[in-house]
Amino acid sequence: MARRPLPRILSTGSAQIARSRELARTAAVSATDVLHPLITITRGLRRLAAAGRRRWADTPKDKRGPLLFLVASVILVVALVPYGPLLAVITLMAAAAWQGRDRTPSASEGPDESQAQRLQSLYEALVPYFSAAEDPEPLYAHGGEWEKTFPAYDFDGSGRITSLAIRYPAYFTDGEAEARARIEQLLTAKAGRGREYHFAWDEEGNHLTVTVLAPLPTDIAAQRFVTAPGETVLGFTDPTQVQRTLPLTYGEEQRDVPPVVWRTGIRSTEPHLLAMGQPGSGTSTLLRSITLQALQYGDVVIVEGGGTGEYACLTGRDGVLAVECGLAGALASLEWAATETERRLIAANQARQAGHPPPEDTKRPLWILLDRPSAFVPLAAADGRKDPQALLQVPLRHGRAANVTVVVADQWDSADALSDAVRQYTRARVVLGPATADQLAAILGGPPQTTPVADVPPGRGYARLGTGPVLRLQVPATPDPYDEATSDAQRQAVLDLLPRRTTPADAEQEPEPVPAEAVVAETS
């Protein structure tokens, strides 16, 4: 059966509606332009009337009679004077037009004297880097004007630059990391130290945009994040860097914050993580945050080389297989983890060959978290034992196929003690605390697009997942709940996330024996 075409009014209705709206909008704009003088005068009359009412209300009652007589006398004189009413109407309209004018302060068309001086100093500082003697029409020259090179700029209330657009000549080697680093270092020093700047290089358009970044929030406490199995929140970053937000609780209110989500499991391209930082930078806080999230879906083995007992709150909890601080315990736990990885691989391989799904005991994630494993290196050498890091070879190499994830955190002074396997197979990287550009490039594999600052709060740093961009990172506050310096709110937040304690096997009550008389009576 052939379909009948739609009526003309339905097929062209949307176009007619759009055209009608455009005509109505044009008519409204034209009417506003034509009636603008009348609108101004009407606004002025309202203001004059309001001023008259306020003046009448402020006048004492004993003086209102003489005031009325004075006003009446003025009206009578104006009425008797030739052309008086006409002049009075003209004067009233002029006063109303003056009172009804738009009093919105006009935006400044340019910087003030101090801002112009700051921009000129920036221009002069960039001249040696953006100029060449062979250039017949140099964009940068000593004594030149900054207006051609800085098309957009913005200042804060204290007169410091918050954003700046810079044009530079095409022959500048913006493709070389060293040349770009020199410009970024110069702009950081001239625009003001102590702040983080984001540099966006447009090589095609020979354009550089410098933006001052707002500090990342440091008041995010540990909590349950809305994530899927296999997703771990490392921390939070700038809203322009990720396309996802998480609802977080701040006391009684909620806010959406962009997270840095690390995906693990069989389909992950970066199944293991390495975190580096100085003492007190927050690497242990990061490991505690990862542990509390991992315990929702898997089992955890924790090896602490520092011996500070920062993971004592996890001892004896459901899902925590071991918390080891000594060399012997660390070797035993890591040897079991390597054996378990091999067992999972063999079981999964046999199931595939038989055409069956993988066994259930190979699907539950197993996490191996090591805090400062380099501390065991001299102890193992003194006792003639194996380095615990050598036992990570199998979990690191085959852990993704066996649902085994390895997380290693260490300090800068022990970076040379990390094994080659840890450096090679940990493709998710985190750097916390103050770090130089060379240190960031060595761990992250590339420099960040922002300038690191010297003074940062605990848990503040950078993260890079595989070959992705380098992101700013703020780890959620997950302190040791047994630490006396921890606030009550943060301590309670961590305690609420801890699993319940595991009941020991010898503490389980055996069922009471049933008397033989009762058994005989029941059978009869």
Q: In this predicted structure, what is the pLDDT of residue 524?
A: 42
User: What is the domain extent for residue 117?
Assistant: 113-212
Q: How much is the mean pLDDT over the chain?
A: 85
Same domain, 367 and 276: yes
Residue 394 lies in a domain: yes
Tell me which of 178, 212, 246 is where a domain ends: 212
> Across-strand partners of 462?
431, 472
Same domain, 385 and 302: yes
CA–CA gap between residue 417 and residue 408 (Å, rounded): 12
CATH code for the domain of 242:
3.40.50.300
Residue 483 lies in a domain: yes
Same domain, 151 and 266: no
Point out the least confidently predicted range of 13-22, 135-144, 501-510: 501-510
Q: In this predicted structure, what is the pLDDT of residue 28?
A: 67
The alpha helices in 429-480, defined as continuous H runs, are 437-444
Nearest to 287 by CA among 382, 194, 213, 222: 222
Same domain, 298 and 167: no
Strands 231-236 and 259-263: antiparallel
Residue 415 burial by CB count (10 A; 0-12/13-18/19+): exposed, middle or buried? middle
Residue 236 lies in a domain: yes
Q: In this predicted structure, what is the pLDDT of residue 481?
A: 93
Residue 284 lies in a domain: yes
Residue 69 lies in a domain: no
Residue 475 lies in a domain: yes
Residue 408 lies in a domain: yes
* pLDDT tens readout for residues 153-205: 998 888 888 999 999 999 999 989 889 989 998 998 888 878 889 999 999 99
Residue 316 lies in a domain: yes
Same domain, 117 and 240: no
**Is the CA virtual torsion 304, 307, 311, 313 positive or negative?**
positive
Same domain, 315 and 425: yes
* Number of other CB atoms surrounding residue 480 within 10 Å: 20
Same domain, 352 and 312: yes
Tell me which of 212, 244, 272 is where a domain ends: 212
Same domain, 322 and 450: yes
* pLDDT tens readout for residues 452-487: 777 888 999 999 999 999 999 999 999 999 998 889
Q: How many domains does the chain have?
A: 2
